[in-house]
Amino acid sequence: MKTEHEDVTPGISRRTLLTRAGVAAAALAAGPVLGGTQPAHAASWRVPGEEASHKRTWMAWPSSSTIWGSLLPAIQADIAKLAKEVAKYEPVVMCADGSTAASQATNACGSTVTVIGSVPVSDCWMRDTGPLFRVDGAGGLDAFGLNFNAWGENATSFYGIPASAYDKDRAVAQNLAAYAGVPFAQAAVVGEGGGIEYDGDGTLMATESCWVNGNRNPGKSRSQIEAELLSRFGASKMIWLPGVTGYDVTDGHIDGTARYIGPGVVMVQLAGAVRPDVWTRNAQAIHDVLVNSTDARGRRLEVLTIEGPDTLPRIPAGRQKDFLSSYMNWTVTNQAVITTQFGDTAKDAAAKTAIAAAYGRTVVQLNLDNLYGNGGGGAHCVTMQEPNR
């Protein structure tokens, strides 16, 4: 299946929606069920904020020509580049689909990245397919999965990629948890890790367009979905945000627009000149909700802002509207925040300065144009942190 602006076969862009009859323009969407074995006193378990100390970062090596076609080598190059950078700050374990893919990943990533071939993967989107790890404050660690279903089967309905192409990714969460030796349970909702943000201190934020959606949670109300997510994350308050439907395969994941810096502090990217109006309006709508929100502790949120790039000098004009020009899709490591740069010198520098000031950590900006452009995802989308106990 060809993407909208590239004469390649086949290849999924997670952000580009092929024109289809009947698809509307964007819409701005204005007791928990546990569903698995849980440790005693489950309320004490929580998913720590991403800025907390990590044991390691998990990633996945893309090797499917069914999914990527001729784009595969370029995507692999960006994954290897990112993995080697993360490995400067904390251990990285790369899951590869069998011995051949593992050998390929080892050659590309080098000796600083641990590659394993015993956790089968379909693709590279570990944030969406992998387990979310929880701690209990007493040395315990467990994990849960969000029942990945290829973004509501959008990969198939948008691009014609067979649903079976993602079969291994549907089981990554439990397989990885088993490899790591931690207890695991499936949540009673369907979604992706990139579709929810958590501060580790009781508050979640997510877009309704991802979760209150018949392609993931048919028949479930917002309150039912909220109760399950709060229970799983060990949180007590959800901030629901507007989202965009019908413009990208994720249905508007939050991690490209708004992120927690830490408890009580969020950052929002207000779209730069290259983003289509629908994303500009959505970013502003998310900002406006957050500035009027309080968290689980009753704190008024401190909302920091940055602006997206105004130019994409390396990207052909015909592809720019579908390019994920988000600085927000960073990955946090123990000593650094790794994000991207787009070639807009002034905006790249301003984003780097703002993120560094917010975190008090080194910020590394990489050129990941293939991953952000052809893949439509970024550094956050392809990493999953495992916290220290």
pLDDT of residue 15: 44
How many other CB atoms are there within 10 angstroms of residue 219's CB atom? Answer: 6
As a whole number of angstroms, the distance between CA 89 and CA 92 comes to 9
The phi and psi torsions of 44 (rounded to 5 degrees) equal -80, -10
pLDDT of residue 266: 98
Tell me if 185 is assigned to some domain.
yes
What domain range is 345 assigned to? 45-387
Tell me if 21 is assigned to some domain.
no
CATH classification of the domain holding 345:
3.75.10.10
Tell me if 15 is assigned to some domain.
no
The phi and psi torsions of 344 (rounded to 5 degrees) equal -85, 95
How many other CB atoms are there within 10 angstroms of residue 221's CB atom? Answer: 10
Tell me if 273 is assigned to some domain.
yes
Tell me if 80 is assigned to some domain.
yes
- Closest by alpha carbon to 375, among 334, 338, 340, 332? 340
**Going by DSSP bridges, is the β-strand pair 203-207/196-198 parallel, antiparallel, or unpaired?**
antiparallel
Tell me if 199 is assigned to some domain.
yes
Question: What is the mean pLDDT of each successive set of 10 residues along the chain, which is 389 residues long?
Answer: 30 40 36 36 82 98 97 98 98 98 98 98 98 96 98 91 97 98 98 98 98 97 98 98 90 97 98 87 97 98 97 93 92 98 98 98 98 94 98
Tell me if 27 is assigned to some domain.
no
Number of structural domains in the chain? 1
Tell me if 23 is assigned to some domain.
no
pLDDT of residue 14: 52
Identify whether 381 is a catalytic site residue.
Answer: yes
How many other CB atoms are there within 10 angstroms of residue 360's CB atom? Answer: 10
pLDDT of residue 246: 78
**Burial (0-12, 13-18, 19+ Cβ within 10 Å), 299:** middle
**How do the residues of the chain divide into helix, strand and coil, expressed in percent and rounded to 5?**
35, 20, 45
User: Which one of 109, 124, 210, 381 is the catalytic residue?
Assistant: 381
